[in-house]
Structure 1
Amino acid sequence: SLLHTQDKEAAIRRTIKSLETDLPADRFVRIHRSSIVSIEHIREIRMLHKGEAQILLKDGTIVRTSRSYRDVIQKLIDDL
């Protein structure tokens, strides 16, 4: 897996599932089978067609979600 931080990128030898389990659920959210984001770094969420969404992070990075995470994204929108 690749881990992206504000300052660097690193390869880690863990599954995304194990990383998701260890991260605090009130600060991080899994938005795709291959992506977890920090909630505090989300600037905007745009809903797209067919239940997908586009998340704009504060640093300008755009991350797309898949429709299988639609409920997670809706909860995120409700909580923000």
Structure 2
Amino acid sequence: MADPHHASDTYVRGSQEISEQESTFSAFLGLSKWGSLILAALVLFLTLWFQPGGSFITAAISAFVLLVAGYFFLKSSPKAH
């Protein structure tokens, strides 16, 4: 015969450890956030450099300004416990 289920074996909502899921989701959000900033700076750089009459210096300065501004907008604030 099959063993009967014990009361301690039943699933209780909210009782499972989720630290791995939280860390994976946090890593995914971080990679998405910073990866998007890097891609945006790269697209800006290449667009300004290769447009007719564009220059490397203008493109580099604009991309750098976007990276610095993006860093300050996207950096995480300290978590309050």
Is the TM value for this pair above 0.5? no
Alignment TM-score, normalising by the size of structure 1: 0.23
Higher helix share: 2
Higher strand share: 1
- Bigger relative CO (Cα 8 Å, ≥ 6 apart): 2
